[in-house]
A = this chain, B = another copy of it.
């Protein structure tokens, strides 16, 4: 086996120095000459018809260059009024209705941001308020106010969203019904049946960098957009559709991002900025305030009804999941979220009879979209909580209960496909060992009788978007240095560095000789997306293939020079030489000079990697790889206050192969912290459709003191046959199981079961009160 030189090394991020010195440029640092600043007028009501919009006073304000309202977009031949990644249910600004508090109604581009802001105050809008609905289940009930009369599908959508359909005249945005075995027979065969309801609230992605877009039309029919996006190609494709342009005439540029977490995947400000730029005939920039970020995209609130039938020995016989997801006022990517949530809603268990019914509903709230885990954390919260409820009832160790039911080699998924190579058992064993599972947890301060400790476990399985495409291009310069072109956006995860490591390894050149050009649709080959933990796996393979293309070309150039076959050429240290050592090596530069006789040669290598919905065996493949992991939490609960402190958190992921172990551990740490936040404090609070905590004072995020002293990231290397060097993605693994692991540990500590997230001190306190004073 080949020894790797840079793969598996914990090298620092290429951009570290720029980042820590504050020199790295983010989009807000970009100052285009002549750029206008735009501000958005947003709906103050949750649901209303718009009677009139009067911009006359605003237009008089000196410095105002363009105002965009429905007047501009309805019937404008330059662009479509409706768009969206799956359904065309969004409009550039509101047309006849507003559907949530924060819905864009108009936008002003002015020479200064404060002028644009002032102009907003001068725009008069008359609304006719309509009844509104704020809960997914209520929205689907008979007689609920309907947000969209009719929703048009996008003509050419994503490959993995087939079968998704809204139901016109209702708020049912999407539904999914999966089953395996015979659920009724399963329940009949069960010794005990458990039924619980689990809820999780909307939450914020909390990227440090807010959404920004700068749009510029150059000449006729050429649009450039700089935007904080994880998916520049998706944005390009959508803008090309909306503005009726060839793909080559839309350029979307994403710089390094200050976090994404799913919030920067689909169009946000880009169509609006472009429409304003077209009207103003000048570049237009929009940067959201923090409040507006909160009003732009959230995580799906969920209510999950879970019913599980088990044998007394712990074998799970049947599981039924009914999922209600609240997608807010517009579908955005919600239908895919509901789909991914449903696939693994029964958990990583081999259950003969399963039924999943998933409902996605429009409500008059902020649109919900992708959020680290893509709907899986909601269903994981349910099934991993219920596992412990069952274990406690059956008096079986929760770890044993899981081990007994885990998916194993060749287990059949709810989709009917066999699953292979899932290192669930190893992940579970490792996290359990890391927190000394089986050893009773004791508070350090035994003098304080109000403190109690407990331990909890959870595991997870998650799909990645399939099928999908990543492509990479490499230019080998004549001095043996290389430029790598990838569509992957570096959102802080370190993709530039890991992809450069792969190029370095494959081309046998020093890492510091690789330059990465990233996420610019004019300059990099197509990549579907930086999301779904897919980049290392997909783009990593594309980089390998591109490098292989380069190596082949080098070998073909060198073979006649050395008078050996191309397969006899060894490439190492920026040199080509015959394998038999009969002749000294030639540097690539010298080789080019020998073959071409002149300076200025560069080779291009191209790599295309695509995944399929079919396994090699011919069977269905829902996911090109499965994210597998487990978490174990030790918590300390204060019986006096209900306050929960996570003392230790172990998180294991099946990474396939850790290409950069440091980054893998950082990913797991970061995910764990978000997971702890979602478990204990994060939630968006709405009152009659009004979000009342749209800022970081009122929206609680984990502070340094909330982070456990001991976060133990564990990397399980279980090589994937298709991943680069066996690697898989791990970006969402640590977060997903945190809430149930913590809830399970809380029950272990103080005997109460919390089924609603977040697990606030108040909820724990009240639950303890209820437990101690039984009502009956």
Interface residues of A (CB under 8 A from B): 14-18, 21, 23-25, 29-34, 156, 158-159, 218-222, 233, 237, 240, 246-249, 251, 281-282, 467-469, 471, 473, 475, 477-483, 512-515, 517, 522-523, 525-528, 596-602, 604, 606, 608, 610, 612
- Is B600's CB under 8 angstroms from A469's CB? yes
How far does the Cβ of A206 sit from chain B's closest Cβ, in whole Å?
25
Bound CA–CA A230/B446 (angstroms): 76
- Is B18's CB under 8 angstroms from A219's CB? yes
- Is B599's CB under 8 angstroms from A247's CB? no
In the complex, which residues of chain B have a beta carbon less than 8 angstroms from the beta carbon of A24? 218
Bound CA–CA A248/B511 (angstroms): 11
Q: Which of B246, B478, B482 contacts A477 (CB 8 A)?
A: B246
Q: A25-B33, A528-B600 provided; 11 other pairs, C-beta below 8 A?
A: A14-B219, A17-B219, A29-B33, A158-B599, A247-B481, A473-B604, A517-B523, A522-B523, A526-B600, A526-B601, A597-B610
Among the interface residues A469, A477, A478, A480, which one has the most CB atoms of the partner chain B within 10 A? A477
Nearest-neighbor residue (CB-CB) of A15 within chain B: B219
- Is B247's CB under 8 angstroms from A478's CB? yes
Interface of A, secondary structure class, is loop
Q: Which of B23, B251, B513, B522 contacts A249 (CB 8 A)?
A: B513
- Is B525's CB under 8 angstroms from A515's CB? no
Bound CA–CA A481/B521 (angstroms): 13
Bound CA–CA A523/B484 (angstroms): 10
Bound CA–CA A222/B600 (angstroms): 21
How far does the Cβ of A361 sit from chain B's closest Cβ, in whole Å?
28
How far does the Cβ of A515 sit from chain B's closest Cβ, in whole Å?
4
Nearest-neighbor residue (CB-CB) of A29 within chain B: B33
Bound CA–CA A30/B527 (angstroms): 29
- Is A604's CB under 8 angstroms from B247's CB? no
Per assembly, the copies of the chain total 2
Nearest-neighbor residue (CB-CB) of A480 within chain B: B246
In the complex, which residues of chain B have a beta carbon less than 8 angstroms from the beta carbon of A513? 246, 248-249
In the complex, which residues of chain B have a beta carbon less than 8 angstroms from the beta carbon of A237? 599
- Is A33's CB under 8 angstroms from B33's CB? no
| Given contacts A33-B31, A481-B246, A522-B483, A467 and B597 within 8 Å (CB-CB) | yes
- Is A248's CB under 8 angstroms from B597's CB? no
Nearest-neighbor residue (CB-CB) of A611 within chain B: B598
In the complex, which residues of chain B have a beta carbon less than 8 angstroms from the beta carbon of A478? 247, 526
- Is B512's CB under 8 angstroms from A218's CB? no
Among the interface residues A220, A471, A483, A600, which one has the most CB atoms of the partner chain B within 10 A? A600
In the complex, which residues of chain B have a beta carbon less than 8 angstroms from the beta carbon of A17? 219-220
Nearest-neighbor residue (CB-CB) of A485 within chain B: B523
In the complex, which residues of chain B have a beta carbon less than 8 angstroms from the beta carbon of A246? 477, 479-481, 512-513
- Is B523's CB under 8 angstroms from A523's CB? yes
Q: Which of B14, B23, B34, B610 contacts A598 (CB 8 A)?
A: B610
Nearest-neighbor residue (CB-CB) of A30 within chain B: B33
In the complex, which residues of chain B have a beta carbon less than 8 angstroms from the beta carbon of A517? 522-523
- Is B522's CB under 8 angstroms from A515's CB? yes
- Is B473's CB under 8 angstroms from A247's CB? no
- Is B221's CB under 8 angstroms from A512's CB? yes
Nearest-neighbor residue (CB-CB) of A221 within chain B: B512
| Given contacts A218-B23, A473-B604, A481-B249, A599 and B159 within 8 Å (CB-CB) | yes
In the complex, which residues of chain B have a beta carbon less than 8 angstroms from the beta carbon of A18? 218-219
How far does the Cβ of A283 sit from chain B's closest Cβ, in whole Å?
9
In the complex, which residues of chain B have a beta carbon less than 8 angstroms from the beta carbon of A600? 233, 468-469, 471, 526-528, 610
- Is A469's CB under 8 angstroms from B159's CB? no
How far does the Cβ of A549 sit from chain B's closest Cβ, in whole Å?
10
In the complex, which residues of chain B have a beta carbon less than 8 angstroms from the beta carbon of A528? 600
In the complex, which residues of chain B have a beta carbon less than 8 angstroms from the beta carbon of A29? 33-34
Bound CA–CA A370/B477 (angstroms): 27
How far does the Cβ of A441 sit from chain B's closest Cβ, in whole Å?
45
| Given contacts A33-B29, A598-B467, A249 and B525 within 8 Å (CB-CB) | no
Among the interface residues A281, A515, A517, which one has the most CB atoms of the partner chain B within 10 A? A515
Q: Which of B16, B467, B608 contacts A219 (CB 8 A)?
A: B16
Among the interface residues A15, A25, A598, A606, which one has the most CB atoms of the partner chain B within 10 A? A598
Bound CA–CA A222/B514 (angstroms): 11
In the complex, which residues of chain B have a beta carbon less than 8 angstroms from the beta carbon of A249? 481, 512-513, 515
How far does the Cβ of A542 sit from chain B's closest Cβ, in whole Å?
11
How far does the Cβ of A504 sit from chain B's closest Cβ, in whole Å?
11
- Is A248's CB under 8 angstroms from B604's CB? no
How far does the Cβ of A534 sit from chain B's closest Cβ, in whole Å?
13
In the complex, which residues of chain B have a beta carbon less than 8 angstroms from the beta carbon of A16? 219
How far does the Cβ of A62 sit from chain B's closest Cβ, in whole Å?
22
| Given contacts A477-B246, A522-B483, A601 and B469 within 8 Å (CB-CB) | yes
- Is A483's CB under 8 angstroms from B248's CB? yes
Bound CA–CA A222/B512 (angstroms): 9
Bound CA–CA A42/B570 (angstroms): 53
Bound CA–CA A246/B480 (angstroms): 8
The 3 residue pairs across chains A and B that have the minimum distance between CB atoms? A246-B481, A248-B481, A469-B600
Bound CA–CA A480/B248 (angstroms): 9
| Given contacts A218-B18, A220-B17, A512-B221, A475 and B525 within 8 Å (CB-CB) | yes
Q: Which of B247, B282, B596, B601 contacts A479 (CB 8 A)?
A: B247
Bound CA–CA A21/B282 (angstroms): 11
Nearest-neighbor residue (CB-CB) of A249 within chain B: B515
How far does the Cβ of A212 sit from chain B's closest Cβ, in whole Å?
14
Bound CA–CA A281/B21 (angstroms): 10
Bound CA–CA A597/B219 (angstroms): 35
How far does the Cβ of A58 sit from chain B's closest Cβ, in whole Å?
25
In the complex, which residues of chain B have a beta carbon less than 8 angstroms from the beta carbon of A222? 515
In the complex, which residues of chain B have a beta carbon less than 8 angstroms from the beta carbon of A612? 597
How far does the Cβ of A93 sit from chain B's closest Cβ, in whole Å?
25
A-B contact pairs, 22 of them (CB 8 A): A18-B218, A23-B34, A23-B218, A30-B33, A31-B32, A156-B599, A233-B600, A246-B477, A246-B479, A246-B480, A246-B481, A247-B479, A248-B483, A248-B513, A467-B598, A468-B598, A469-B600, A473-B604, A523-B523, A525-B602, A601-B608, A604-B606
How far does the Cβ of A234 sit from chain B's closest Cβ, in whole Å?
10
In the complex, which residues of chain B have a beta carbon less than 8 angstroms from the beta carbon of A30? 33
Bound CA–CA A512/B468 (angstroms): 29
How far does the Cβ of A538 sit from chain B's closest Cβ, in whole Å?
11
| Given contacts A17-B220, A18-B218, A515-B522, A599 and B469 within 8 Å (CB-CB) | yes
Bound CA–CA A522/B481 (angstroms): 12
Nearest-neighbor residue (CB-CB) of A237 within chain B: B599
Nearest-neighbor residue (CB-CB) of A517 within chain B: B522
Nearest-neighbor residue (CB-CB) of A236 within chain B: B477
In the complex, which residues of chain B have a beta carbon less than 8 angstroms from the beta carbon of A34? 23, 29
